[in-house]
Structure 1
């Protein structure tokens, strides 16, 4: 069981009080016990008969009657037992009552002491779940350790927000600066290939340049997508059904699958999640394209969406060559392929699964790859479920 800091402090306060109370009760018990023992010792040293009982005679004279020391000692022993029993009961009751009051006071005091820390925790939780880096704690209390923690956390949020802004601007600028020259090169090569006086050698050279240019465009797109997906989803957090995303991706992948005579199987059950629709579509597209390109001629691909263990799940399996289990982690690293030459461009840039993992992590999800006994892979993405809609009275009508 997980105990909160407030409860731990309360238990510590009450525990210390009860221990101190029991120590005081024990010391008091010994003191009273010693006083009574001294009285008994004095009685034991007295004569056999003690003039300890006054009697009023009919004549009006008061006479002291001697009582046996044994009777006095017995009476003293009964008195001591009754006194100590009453003392322990009353003192124990006082300790219990004061301990209960100390527990309540400890709960209240610890709550007031930890209130600034709870404020820091709540703000951190809202930033982590809501992805709003503009929010600050702005603690205005007295200058102590908790205020130092709050100010440090605000400084960290400010630096993170600045870093994300710089990254976003860099991605936008890089997207424009890198794609524009490649688009110009492609246009110039196309124009040169369409010239009537273009020789066969020039046409072959132009076609090779177009292949290289296309590969560079795909590489840049992959790098930009990886940079865009390898950060938490901030403002584009909205409900997305993975079944709809997968269906759209499968429909657009039909032409590439037909070129290799690959059969696409779909089992798309509702799988509501939340996140950026564009990034999630790119995730599903990379999985399906990877399953088609790393497949046999006439192979098969299975695309499945469902709810599993409280999470939305997208699974893409494909036939193909047998993948060793020790190579599974390698395929998620950028520019790494299994038994593929880096120069080849027909199987992509080696960033597909890297983008998948980065996108899943940015959405708080996970990616797992498992080899199939018949060959090929099964890649499964699990994301958090979309929150249930909040119903208001207006939603029910009259």
Structure 2
């Protein structure tokens, strides 16, 4: 580990405020000590200082005793005054500079500690705002944590104003997300009825005895378009459902889910000339079994639909990692996918090469649903392009109880 990694990545605002408080206190203390010392020296150097005569009592054993009342010679008086000034300067340097610096350091440390406590109290509301924002950002479902608000109590200051503005923004975002989900769900439900009626009318017209061959071919084309629209609406409904926060989680083994999907997709793979392979190790997790089944179903269905190789294959693998996560990996042969195109495949209505053609094989929501369902379950989805063509899509989810826990 390098020395840079041992250092903190950043200095917190609380630490910076503490350094500012302590630094300002130390600078002010140094200036005060220096000013006091300079003024003291100035007073010592004033020329109008009067000499004081000191009358000493001689010792009885001393002989002969000098006349203590006699004034000192001028030269001796000046020498005595200079000696006294020197001693005073030394005492001032010792008291003010040395001992004062030690006292200033101790008081500065106490001031820094007090500043640390004060900064913590001042920044506590900001920490509350940050924690709320972090919980909302970490919500597994898109917009799932927007119902939370910052319950900040305190004086009506700038921090309180920031928290109120943040709550207003969360409220508007929450209404926007809910309105968008309700619109998609309601529109999808409303569109299902005319599509069902249209499909019934087309099938009725095609089943007439007097129908011509051209009309029959036209009806088949209309049924294909109608089927694609129904698939699109189903995908939109599923996408709106997958973005909601899970209210109930149950133990699910991804190996069982993948085995069921592989068995169901066998006939579709046989008609397309695609070989299915699976290596299904235990991968216990928790969540909604139907949504987790949709993950594997979409990946396997995409691997079959967009597989253009004559001897194509789709491989499904489930496993448990050592870091407390489980994975389901679906790889397949197919057309060569440029690496820069891979991230865009997870966006809604994005398909490689087909763009938005009405005769495309899918609705372009498969991988979007996969990513949304994985995020709702606290996981993520990644994809990489194979060098020989095709994709490797891996969905990682938090691990749940093991087989014993599932049986219990």
Aligned match of 1:221:
234
Contact kept in structure 2, 1:264 and 1:300, CA below 8 Å: yes
Which residue of structure 2 aligns with residue 179 of structure 1?
192
1:63-102 counterparts in 2 under 5 A?
63-64=67-68, 73=82, 77=86, 80-102=89-111
Would the alpha carbon gap of residues 124 and 327 (structure 1) be closer, same or farther in structure 2, given more than 3 Å must change? closer
C-alpha change, 1:30 and 1:72, in structure 2 (3 Å) is: closer
Are residues 1:328 and 2:342 paired?
Answer: yes
Confirm whether residue 19 of structure 1 aligns to residue 33 of structure 2: no
Question: Is the aligned partner of 1:370 residue 2:384?
Answer: yes
- 1:22 & 1:139 partners in 2: Cα distance? 40
**Does the residue aligned with 2:233 lie in a helix, a strand or coil?**
helix
Structure 1 residues 362 and 12: alpha-carbon distance in aligned structure 2, compared to 1, 3 A threshold: farther
TM-score, normalising length from structure 1? 0.77
Whole-angstrom CA distance in 2 between matches of 1:135 and 1:51: 84
SS of residue in 2 equivalent to 1:264: strand
How far is the alpha carbon of 1:338 from its aligned partner?
Answer: 3.5
Relative to structure 1, the CA distance from residue 220 to residue 80 in structure 2 (aligned partners, 3 Å threshold; closer, same or farther) is: same
Q: Which residue in 2 is equivalent to 1:303?
A: 316
Decide whether the 8 Å contact of 2:126 with 2:159 is kept in 1. yes
Q: In the alignment, does 2:113 pair up with 1:113?
A: no
Matched with 2:5 is none
Is residue 316–residue 330 contact of structure 2 (8 Å, CA) maintained in 1? yes
Establish whether residue 285 from structure 1 lines up as the match of residue 287 from structure 2.
Answer: no
Aligned residue among 141, 148, 152 for 2:165: 152
Cα deviation for residue 359 of structure 1 reads 4.8
After superposition, the CA RMSD in angstroms is: 3.9
Q: 1:377 to 1:97 in 2, by over 3 A?
A: same
**1:29 matched to 2:29:** no
Per the alignment, do residues 9 and 279 of structure 1 end up closer, same or farther by CA in structure 2, a change over 3 Å counting? farther
- Look up the match of 2:277: 265
Alpha carbons of 1:164 and 1:241: their partners in 2 closer, same or farther (altered >3 Å)?
farther
Which region of structure 1 is more displaced relative to structure 2, 219-228 or 111-120? Answer: 219-228
Distance in 1, Cα, partners of 2:173 & 2:380: 23
Maintained 8 Å contact 2:283/2:326: yes
SS in 1 for 2:109: helix
CA distance in 2, matches of 1:357, 1:107: 44
| Equivalent in the alignment of 2:333 | 319
Instruction: Give structure 2 stretches of 5+ with no counterpart.
Output: 1-7, 403-408
SS of the residue corresponding to residue 383 of structure 2 reads strand
Match of 1:396 in 2: none
> CA 1:168–1:333 in 2, change beyond 3 Å: closer, same or farther?
closer
| Aligned pair partner of 2:60 in 58, 79, 97 | 58
> How many residues are paired up?
379
Contact 2:225 2:358 in 1 (8 A): no
Deviation at 1:265, TM superposition (A): 2.8
User: Partner of 2:56: helix, strand, or coil?
Assistant: strand
Deviations along 1:38-60, whole A, 9 cap, x unmatched? 28x899x99xxx97673415399
Match of 1:54, SS?
Answer: coil
| CA displacement, residues 105-149 of structure 1 (integer Å, 9 cap, x when unaligned) | 212222222232233223333333453433322434322211211
Secondary structure, aligned partner of 2:110: helix
Equivalent pair of 1:257/1:263 in contact (CA under 8 Å): yes
Give how far 1:214 is off. 1.0
Instruction: Give the Cα separation in 1 of the matches to 2:21 and 2:119.
Output: 9
User: What is the rounded CA distance, in whole Å, between the counterparts of 2:369 and 2:38 in structure 1?
Assistant: 76
Report the Cα distance in structure 1 between the residues aligned to 2:29 and 2:401, rounded to whole angstroms: 52
1:234 matched to 2:236: no
Structure of greater relative contact order (alpha carbons < 8 Å, 6+ residues apart): 2
Name the counterpart of 1:164: 177
